[in-house]
Amino acid sequence: MSWSKMKQSLESFLCPALYGRVEYGATSYRYLSDKAGQCYIKVDKKNIFNMSDTSTLIKWYKTEQEIKNDQDIQIHINNEEIETVRNDIKGPVPEDRLKVIARNRKVSEYAKEILSAQSVLCKSNFNVVVNKFLTISIEESLDSNDILLNVLALVDRRVGKKRLLKMDEKMRLKHPIVQYFYELRLSV
């Protein structure tokens, strides 16, 4: 599918309150083989999400340690995760230490997911993800671990206010760009 048709399809699914505020764009360089092109999402004429640039307004992580040390990331640990750690250790360990170990494990998994998701954002991937978004259900897009699928689903008109409010806790565990678009959608 050509970019103009993709853009038209994406804009047709845009939430009415965000129409005119959210803009999709893609550039490519036909005669420069070393230039991959750029894809971006602008909000109120500001480049918020640029697939090939790390200087956007959203925080991009470079290492797992940055994610682990970021105080804004809240990781919730449930009893099952604590029990898994208890069974893995097979010995007497204080309860508070079990929570720390379970949290560290979860943060490591979360960091790896974020870094792998950030690494695949480029123009060719953008086109693939947009095509996937246009063919799968909105629930699949919201539940996906793909950052771009989450963003496209959050600005979609098929996601209502009640569903957005129910997703609050799940959105806290997502990438900052997904959280940004979640907050944007709640604000309109």
Domain ranges of the chain: 3-52+121-187, 73-111
pLDDT tens by residue, the chain, 188 residues: 787 888 899 999 999 999 999 999 877 665 545 445 677 889 999 988 877 655 555 566 777 788 778 777 777 888 898 889 989 988 888 988 988 899 888 888 877 777 776 665 655 577 888 889 999 999 999 998 888 899 999 999 999 989 999 998 888 878 888 889 999 999 98
Is the entire prediction scored with pTM above 0.85?
A: no
- φ, ψ of residue 96 in degrees (nearest 5): -65, -35
SS3 string of 129-147?
Answer: HHHHHHHCCHHHHHHCCCH
Cβ-based burial of 49 (10 A; exposed 0-12, middle 13-18, buried ≥19)? buried
